[in-house]
Structure 1
Amino acid sequence: MIVVGAFVLTGCRASLSDGLLIPPITEGAERVTRLWVGTWIAAIAVGVLVLGLLFWCLIVYRHKDGDDELPEQLRYNVPIEVLYTVVPIFMVLVLFFYTARDEEILLDTSSPPDNVVHVIGKRWSWDFNYVNDDVHLAGTQARLTGQDGVEATLPDLYIVVGERTEFVLTSRDVIHSFWVPQFHQKLDMIPGRVNSFAVTPTQTGTFQGKCAELCGDYHSYMLFNIHVVEQDEYDAQMEALRASGNTGLMTDEHNMEKLMERDQNLIREGSR
């Protein structure tokens, strides 16, 4: 039943080999998938072992007719206690090692990106600064009417397929979280702080992004479209923003909290 439900929730496109995750669209997402699947394999193995031992004890040591004597009473068993103390600690350390390793790689922004997008979260929409192209888009709160065509009114974010795009994340008011499910990673946007990560998309298409941190009354309205396109279409969209007068970068003048001094150098001068 759980497996069937998971297939329904993922639109029946997921597979067991991918841990029933939404199919990824970035290079780094495969690393997340491997960690996810490996963790589930370890968890299932532990579950099978524990349940097997449980049922073995229930069957072997069950009360038998004519056996009215109490079994030998033991206060402790040092080898077993050492075993069930050391083994869980070892498993947690192994999981911590692989998680920390993959997190460090996924959040590494030392390689020069092809494009930089400064994403600003606000209640309850998004602003996008296209740093390399010196244009911006100011988003407005979605109107979820339940009618067709609502997605076309959401803020649109464009990135180029096959190119490394770095997302620089800040917040104007409260904690938000930038999440595109197909990236298989998300990152919080904390007032006064700068967080960043980079992705290289591997396929074109339009996908849905959202805030993944409860941020107030209209948290569920905080949606956007992300378009992974070819270079010529991306250039056309940048030109359309210029033609609409959206030149220059939006600043932090409307932020409720100024950026910490140590993070100032992480934001381009024009958007501070």
Structure 2
Amino acid sequence: MSTETSPATPAAASGTFAIGGDLSVNRLGFGTMQLTGPGVWGEPADRTGAIAVLRRAVELGVTLIDTADAYGPFVTDGLIREALHPYADDVTIATKVGFTRQGPHAWTPLGRPEYLRQQTELNLRHLGVDRIDLLQLHRIDPKVPLDDQIGELAALQSEGKVRHIGLSEVTVDEVEAARAVAPIASVQNLFNLSNRRASELLDYSGAEGIAFIPWFPLATGELAGEGSALASLAAAHGSTPGQLALAWLLHRSPVMLPIPGTSSVAHLEENVAAAGIRLSDDEFAALTALD
């Protein structure tokens, strides 16, 4: 295993991917969900610290920042705008619509077209942009026809308010059904070293050139326990288990865009350093075998 990094923008060592074929980002991004209050509800305990994390992420070369109207709700949008607006030309803000919030830890899908449009308009206003580069349907609402949900996002796209459309927590069949209505540039599913249930979707995404954004990418579960193979390999190379988990994701597929989140600048810097880790084929195989 080797490490490649740039002192100025280490996230760039993760390589690039063009979302939708024309929106180039550094593959290691940043997820903002942890910048809210407990239960992804309300303001952070340390707003100044949250602003510092966002600014440091961009300083480190992160060009993909993932947020959602439901985070707070709208708390992370406000933090992003305060920290980064006006946005650098190479910074992509990806957001989501399709959830309602009733309190901490409470999430209810709502895919009615008028709601998706309302939340998109609010995202535009809160982020301070005229167009959302990547708008993802946070969840498919089983009570609303999929064609109606994707159709509304496509209408917003045709109006110039959305550049690319993505999906979250979907199956291959659902992606194909959505693609019959509008082009789909990304999918965002739970995927990490210890939970690979979305492998079929990842392989499909790779074959179709669709960005795969794994949420909860740092999870290692029992794989990182004391004396485990993951912990031993990390110790041998002066890395943390979490860094190796991110390196494994980046090695797994060229369409993989991990978005590890944190409210700590130190933890952010540790995560971004993983972009420079290069696993050998043997090391990648050894980590893959930990399933």
- Higher fraction of strand: 1
After TM superposition, the score normalised by the length of structure 1 is: 0.24
After TM superposition, the score normalised by the length of structure 2 is: 0.22
Bigger Cα Rg: 1
